[in-house]
Amino acid sequence: MHGLPQLDLPPLTGASGTVRLPGSKSISNRVLLLAGLAAGTTELHDVLTSDDTQVMLDALRTLGCGVESGARASWRIRGLGGRLAVHTADLFLGNAGTAMRPLAAALALLATTQGGSFTLRGVPRMHERPIGDLVDALRPLGCTIDALGTPGFPPLRLRGEAGGRLQLEQPIRVRGDVSSQFLTALLLALPLVAEAHDIAVEVHGELISRPYIEITLALLARFGIAVRRCGDARFVIPQGASYRSPGSLHVEGDASSASYFIAVGAIAAAGGAPVRLEGVGSDSIQGDIAFVDAARAMGAQVACGPGWIEARRGRWPLAGITIDANHIPDAAMTLAMMALYADGPTRITGIASWRVKETDRIAAMATELRKLGATVVAGADFIEVAPPPAPGAWRAAAIATYDDHRMAMCASLAAFNPLAGAHVPLRILEPRCVAKTFPDYFEALLGLAQAASADVPVLAIDGPTASGKGTLAAATAGALGFHLLDSGALYRATGLAAGWDGVALDDEERLAALAATLDLRFGQGDASGRIWLRGREVSDALRLEATGLAASRVSALPAVRRALHGLQLAFRRPPGLVADGRDMGSVVFPDAALKVFLTASVAERAERRHKQLISKGISSNIADLRADLEARDERDRRRAVAPLKPAADALLLDNSQLDIDASVSCVLGWWQERSPFERARERQARAGEMAPP
C-alpha cells in the first residue's frame, strides 16, 4: 500500500462522524528537539507518527539521546543536557524543514563550542529550500558552516574545535520574511549558550507566519525558558536560561490537519450530524486554529471547545472571500480548495512563503485547480480562485501532488463535487505523500464520507478453489487502495460456526439463521488477513480443509446465500472494493466495473495447494488433492444457486503459467482501461470533440 501510485475517489455526497487528529507536526518536532537538548528524561505523549517526526527521532538517536517508544504514540527522550555525546554525525532529514532548521542552529552552536563536525542533508527538494538567512545569522557568531551544494541551501556541514568562542554580545540579526523557521531555530537553540549573558535576536524585514513563533515561545516556556519579547522585532534569551524538562508533555492534535475536516464539514455535513474533530480545539496554541475564523467567513458553521471542534454546513454555496492569510499559510491551502464550492472568487494574499514550501504551492495549486475546471489567477504572493462556472464545467482530473502532503490532502476535497451539482470521479496521484504529517488521512476521510453505492467501483475476481484468487484480490486491493472482500471467508465462517454450535450441514433454516447473525470482524486495513468470529481469532481455523468442505456444503443452500447477501453488499464503501469468490461478478455485484474469472488448470491448482500444505508442514498426496478439488469444483458448478461460472461479461484469466506479480499487472492493466475514472475521461474527451470550437 505504501507505494500506491494513485487513488481514485468516487463522487462523494456527504460526510459525518468523528475524527481523532494525529499530533501536531510543529509541536511534535519542537518538543522532541527540546527534550533531546534538555537534561533528564521527558515523556512525550500523542506525538505525531510521520515521516517528519521519524527523521527527527532518528537524528536524536544518532546524536546519542535516549529514544524509547511507549504505548500510543508516546516517547521517552533522555536528553543531552546541553553536552554533545557524539562529535561527528551525518544526519538525513528527509524533507522536514522543522528538523533541518533547528538542528542546523543547535549543532552549529554546539560544534563551535564543544568541537565536532555534523553534516545535514535531505531529499532533493530539501536542497532547494532556503536556509541562507539562518546561516547568515549564525556565521557572525563564529560558527563555521560549509554549504556542500548550492550556497544558501542544504546540505550543510557545521564544524568547530572544542573551546571555540561565540560572539554573542551584539544582537543576532535574522531575516523574518522568508521563513519564520529561521527565527524559531535560533530561539530553540540559543539557550544552549546563554550561561554568560542575555542573547538578543533582532528580526529584519516583516516577520511572516508569526503564529509559529508563538508556538515556539509557548513550548520554550514549558521547558523553563521565558523569552523576553519586544513586539515582533526583538527577542531576548535571558542569561542563565537552560532547558528544564517538564517531565511529561501532551502534544495537541494538528490544527493544519484539522482544516481539511473543517472544510469537509462546511461542504458536506448537511442537516444532521456534524464532522467532529478531537485532539485540538479552542485551547490550542497553534496559529492554524485561526483557520476556523476564515472557514466561518466562507460560511462554515463551526463550534469549538477545549480539545474539540465541530463543523457543519452554514451558508451554501460558500461565500467567496478576500483574505490576507499570512497568519495561516498552511491552512490557507484548504481555503483555496473550499473556493471550488463558493459563489464567487476567493482571493488569498500574503502567501509568498507558499513558494518555498514542500513544493511551489502557488504554482502547484493553480495548475491543479485549473485541471478541475476552476479559473485561477496567481501572482508572486497571492492566488485567486473562481469556481467552475457551471456544474458541467467540473472535470474528472488526475491531481498531481508534488510529493507535498498538503497538496494530496487538499485534492481530496474536490471529490465532494456532487454537492456543487457535478458528478465526476477524482484521481489523486502518489497519495501516500500524506505520510509526511498524516499517514492515515485517506482512511480517516473515507471513514466519514458517503457515496452512492452505484458510484463505488467494484472489481470482481471469481474462480474455482485454489486458483490463487485470494492472493490476487488482496494484492490488487492493495495496489488500488481499495477495500477487500474475501466472500469465501463468510461461507467458511458459517461452516465453522455450524461446527461450534452442532448444527447439521443440511439444516438450511438454522444455517441461514447462523449466517444472518455472523459476528465477524476483519483485521485493520481489511487486507491484514486476520479474522475474528464471535471474538475468537479464526484466521487459521478458516483455512483448514475441513472448514473449506463445510463451506462448500453450506454455500449450496439458497437461504444461506440470501442471508450473506446484505453482508457482502456492505463491503462496498468508498473508495472501492475488490471482491473475490464464486459469484461476485455474476450475482452479488452484477454492475462491477471489471469482472475477472480465473481458469487455472486443476493440475496446476493441485500442485499449488500441495506446495502450500508442505510449507505449513502438512503432508499430502497430489492425486488426492486433485480429486478433492475436482469434487468441489463439480459441487460448486452443479448447485442450483449461484453456480460457479463466469459472468457473461467477465474477462477470463488463465493464471496457470503466471506468477502473482504478472497476474496482478494483468488485472491492473484491465482496470486502467475500465475504471470509472477512465470512463469519465473518455466521456469528457468525446463531449469536448462534439462541443463547438
The residues carrying an active-site annotation are 330
- Kindly tell me which residue out of 7, 57, 551, 647 binds ligand DC, with binding defined by CB under 6 A: 551
For 218, the grid coordinates are 509557548
Residue 37's φ and ψ, nearest 5 degrees, are -90, -25
Of 498, 405, 513, 579, nearest in space to 25 by CA:
405
- Kindly tell me which residue out of 212, 354, 442, 491 binds ligand DC, with binding defined by CB under 6 A: 491
State the minimum distance, in angstroms, from the CB of residue 583 to ligand DC: 5
- Residue 438 carries which side chain, given as an amino acid letter? F
Identify whether the C-beta of residue 103 lies closer than 8 Å to the C-beta of residue 131. Answer: no
Q: Which stretch binds ligand DC (CB under 6 A): 32-40, 43-51, 339-347, 580-588?
A: 580-588
State the minimum distance, in angstroms, from the CB of residue 542 to ligand DC: 8
- Kindly tell me which residue out of 121, 129, 492, 595 binds ligand DC, with binding defined by CB under 6 A: 492
Q: What is the DSSP string of 86-119?
A: -SEEEEE-TT-HHHHHHHHHHHHHHHHHHEEEEE
Identify whether the C-beta of residue 387 lies closer than 8 Å to the C-beta of residue 413. Answer: no
For 612, the grid coordinates are 502450500
Of 104, 106, 103, 111, nearest in space to 87 by CA:
111
For 174, 345, 369, the CA distances from 424, given in Å and listed in that order, are 48, 22, 14
State the minimum distance, in angstroms, from the CB of residue 465 to ligand DC: 4
For 452, the grid coordinates are 452512492
State the minimum distance, in angstroms, from the CB of residue 565 to ligand DC: 10
For 386, the grid coordinates are 473562481
| CA terminus-to-terminus distance, the chain | 43
Buried b (16+ CB within 10 A) or exposed e, 557-588: bebbbebbeeebeebbbbbbbbbbbbbbbbbb
Query: How many residues touch ligand DC (CB under 6 A)?
Result: 14
State the minimum distance, in angstroms, from the CB of residue 598 to ligand DC: 11
* Residue 370 CB-density burial (10 A; 0-12 exposed, 13-18 middle, 19+ buried): middle
Cα distance between residue 465 and residue 473, in whole Å: 14
List Cβ neighbours of 536 (8 Å cut-off, separation of 6 or more): none
- Please say which residue, 277 or 489, places its beta carbon nearer to ligand DC: 489
- Please say which residue, 23 or 585, places its beta carbon nearer to ligand DC: 585
Q: Under rule CB under 6 A, which residues in 231-260 are in contact with ligand DC?
A: none
636 interacts with ligand DC by CB under 6 A: yes
- Kindly tell me which residue out of 320, 488, 574, 676 binds ligand DC, with binding defined by CB under 6 A: 488
552 interacts with ligand DC by CB under 6 A: yes
Identify whether the C-beta of residue 215 lies closer than 8 Å to the C-beta of residue 30. Answer: yes
State the minimum distance, in angstroms, from the CB of residue 628 to ligand DC: 11
Q: Under rule CB under 6 A, which residues in 614-633 are in contact with ligand DC?
A: 632
Q: Which stretch binds ligand DC (CB under 6 A): 143-151, 215-223, 241-249, 551-559?
A: 551-559
Identify whether the C-beta of residue 488 lies closer than 8 Å to the C-beta of residue 470. Answer: yes
For 267, the grid coordinates are 461542504
Cα distance between residue 524 and residue 211, in whole Å: 37
State the minimum distance, in angstroms, from the CB of residue 636 to ligand DC: 5
State the minimum distance, in angstroms, from the CB of residue 517 to ligand DC: 19
Residue 60's φ and ψ, nearest 5 degrees, are -60, -40
* Residue 597 CB-density burial (10 A; 0-12 exposed, 13-18 middle, 19+ buried): buried
Binding mask 430-469 for ligand DC (x = CB under 6 A): -----------------------------------x----
Cα distance between residue 273 and residue 335, in whole Å: 23
- Please say which residue, 8 or 633, places its beta carbon nearer to ligand DC: 633
State the minimum distance, in angstroms, from the CB of residue 533 to ligand DC: 14
Cα distance between residue 371 and residue 30, in whole Å: 37
State the minimum distance, in angstroms, from the CB of residue 639 to ligand DC: 8
- Please say which residue, 640 or 690, places its beta carbon nearer to ligand DC: 640
Q: Under rule CB under 6 A, which residues in 105-164 are in contact with ligand DC?
A: none
548 interacts with ligand DC by CB under 6 A: yes
- Kindly tell me which residue out of 180, 216, 256, 487 binds ligand DC, with binding defined by CB under 6 A: 487
- Kindly tell me which residue out of 51, 330, 526, 583 binds ligand DC, with binding defined by CB under 6 A: 583
- Please say which residue, 131 or 551, places its beta carbon nearer to ligand DC: 551
Cα distance between residue 603 and residue 399, in whole Å: 46
Q: Which stretch binds ligand DC (CB under 6 A): 178-186, 389-397, 579-587, 601-609?
A: 579-587
287 interacts with ligand DC by CB under 6 A: no
* Residue with the shortest CB distance to ligand DC: 488
- Residue 292 carries which side chain, given as an amino acid letter? V
- Please say which residue, 310 or 583, places its beta carbon nearer to ligand DC: 583
Q: Which stretch binds ligand DC (CB under 6 A): 36-44, 75-83, 548-556, 646-654?
A: 548-556
- Kindly tell me which residue out of 555, 655, 663, 675 binds ligand DC, with binding defined by CB under 6 A: 555
Dihedral sign from CA coordinates of 174, 180, 185, 190: positive
- Please say which residue, 10 or 488, places its beta carbon nearer to ligand DC: 488
* Residue 519 CB-density burial (10 A; 0-12 exposed, 13-18 middle, 19+ buried): exposed
Rg of the chain on CA atoms, in Å = 29
- Please say which residue, 121 or 561, places its beta carbon nearer to ligand DC: 561
- Please say which residue, 350 or 585, places its beta carbon nearer to ligand DC: 585
- Please say which residue, 91 or 642, places its beta carbon nearer to ligand DC: 642
Residues that bind ligand DC in the complex, under the rule CB under 6 A: 465, 487-488, 491-492, 548, 551-552, 555, 581-583, 632, 636
